[in-house]
Amino acid sequence: MPYWSKRWRGGSKVAAPIGRALFDYWILQRKNDPILPPTADQLKVIKRQKAFEKLMRDAQREKEEKALEEKAEAEAATATTTSE
């Protein structure tokens, strides 16, 4: 927690509320409302979602790279045409 707050330059303004929330949960709510790890089925869903999101990011990145290449080629062709 100190690393986060130091990195975001908020210091105690950032760290204090986070620490308070963690402390309150640990002391007051942990036994009544525990945070349970995901089940095997939930993990499968999470992994599928992450894989899908990665595929979508990769596809978007490839699309953007292709558009940039086409733009560079068009600019190069225009520069060649105007210089002749």
User: pLDDT tens, 1-47?
Assistant: 455 545 566 677 778 888 898 888 888 888 888 888 999 999 999 99
Q: Are residues 64 and 80 in the same domain?
A: yes
For 74, what's the count of Cα atoms within 13 Å in the CB-facing half-sphere?
6
What digits encode the pLDDT tens for the residues 57-79? 999 999 999 999 999 999 988 88
Q: Are residues 48 and 84 in the same domain?
A: yes
Are residues 5 and 15 in contact, defined by beta-carbon separation less than 8 angstroms?
A: yes
Q: Are residues 70 and 29 in the same domain?
A: no
Q: Is the pTM of this model over 0.85?
A: no
**Helix (H, G, I), strand (E, B), or coil: what is residue 67?**
helix
Range of the domain at 41: 37-84
Helices then strands, counting H and E runs in the chain, come out as 3, 0
